[in-house]
């Protein structure tokens, strides 16, 4: 028997606050070399502007294992489909027996938001009250939810190249979070009063100008996950306190880092820490109110393992989903 969990089951099983705690624990294990996580395999489907990734992981501290298959097809929105589709299989680490299969599309957005929540908690100023979200897709929504979970956000701005998408996200999230969420005419307008900025786009060029950042801003950059993608200006990466989810993954995949490195602006020593090192207290975080802090995430399997395992535990206790014989 295997438990099958649809998106609604995943949403019900793991609220954002619990997802943040699960992801924090996973990052600590990852930074302390207590996770087995090979680099993800990538299958390009250039004929359809897509890529399918396979991401296995094992957290030794939790004795938890899972595999995610995630596809990112950039032409999907024009077809009325989500850009990202994913499926996660949770595997019993003792026997290798598949224990559950669950929707990974929402889980991916949830764990990505949770990572930014963890980074915001660790790096943003305590008095952060305003956030700006660049990118009005599913990822942008969970970014905003996560930031609001760890800081007393009073106002949010959303900017997207599709104004209608930004307005739709604002209306939805204002009702869900019970706070003013407004569309901005430009990134400069969105950033003008922001204490926390989240970028969740598929851009290949910076989505804001470095000069538009306020002193003391914290940035969560989660959209660019290939060497050719870039959301953050090189100047921002160069002057900010740079924290990554996983050094090896960031240095292999993060265009936000690799492009400035190719320009000779800095080398890999510019990475201050992995987020797990800061959460564990092994490295310092923010050192001043004026400092720019940047969390660069490409997304790693350890997040999926932690989130999926937490979903399955809750699903078992509440008997969510359906049991199927395979």
Give catalytic residues, as residue numbers.
Answer: 68
How many other CB atoms sit within 10 Å of the CB of residue 193?
Answer: 13
**Under DSSP, is residue 177 helix (H, G, I), strand (E, B) or coil?**
helix
E-assigned strand segments in the chain? 2-5, 35-36, 41-45, 50-59, 64-73, 84-91, 98-103, 130-134, 155-159, 181-183, 196-199, 218-221, 241-244, 271-274, 293-296, 322-324
Q: How far is CA 204 from CA 232, 240, 280, in A?
A: 10, 20, 33
CA atoms within 13 A on the CB side of 220: 34
């Amino acid at each position: 028997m295997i438990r099958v969990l649809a998106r609604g089951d995943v949403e019900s099983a793991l609220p954002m606050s619990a997802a943040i705690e699960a992801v924090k624990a996973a990052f600590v294990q990852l930074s302390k070399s207590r996770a087995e996580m090979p680099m993800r395999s990538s299958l390009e489907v250039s004929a359809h502007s897509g890529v399918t990734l396979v991401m296995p992981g094992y957290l030794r501290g939790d004795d938890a294992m899972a595999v995610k298959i995630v596809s990112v097809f950039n032409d999907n929105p024009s077809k009325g489909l989500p850009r990202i589709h994913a499926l996660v299989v949770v595997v019993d680490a003792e026997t290798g027996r598949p224990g559950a299969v669950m929707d990974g599309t929402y889980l991916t957005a949830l764990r990505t938001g949770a990572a930014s929540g963890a980074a915001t908690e660790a790096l943003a100023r305590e008095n952060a009250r305003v956030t700006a979200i660049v990118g009005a897709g599913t990822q942008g929504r969970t970014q905003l939810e996560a930031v609001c979970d760890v800081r007393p956000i009073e106002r949010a701005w959303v900017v997207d190249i599709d104004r209608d998408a930004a307005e739709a996200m604002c209306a939805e999230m204002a009702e869900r979070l019970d706070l003013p969420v407004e569309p901005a005419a430009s990134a400069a307008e969105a950033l003008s009063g922001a204490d926390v900025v989240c970028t969740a786009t598929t851009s290949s060029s910076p989505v804001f100008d470095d000069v538009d950042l306020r002193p003391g801003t914290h940035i969560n950059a989660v959209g660019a996950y290939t060497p050719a993608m870039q959301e953050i200006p090189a100047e921002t990466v160069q002057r900010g306190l740079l924290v990554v989810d996983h050094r090896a993954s960031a240095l292999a995949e993060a265009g936000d880092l690799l492009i400035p490195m190719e320009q000779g602006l800095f080398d890999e020593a510019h990475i201050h820490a992995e987020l797990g090192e800061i959460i564990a207290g092994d490295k310092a975080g923010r050192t001043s109110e004026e400092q720019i802090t940047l969390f660069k995430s490409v997304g790693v399997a350890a997040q999926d393992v932690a989130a999926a395992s937490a979903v399955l535990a809750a699903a078992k206790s509440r008997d969510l989903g359906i049991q199927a014989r395979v």
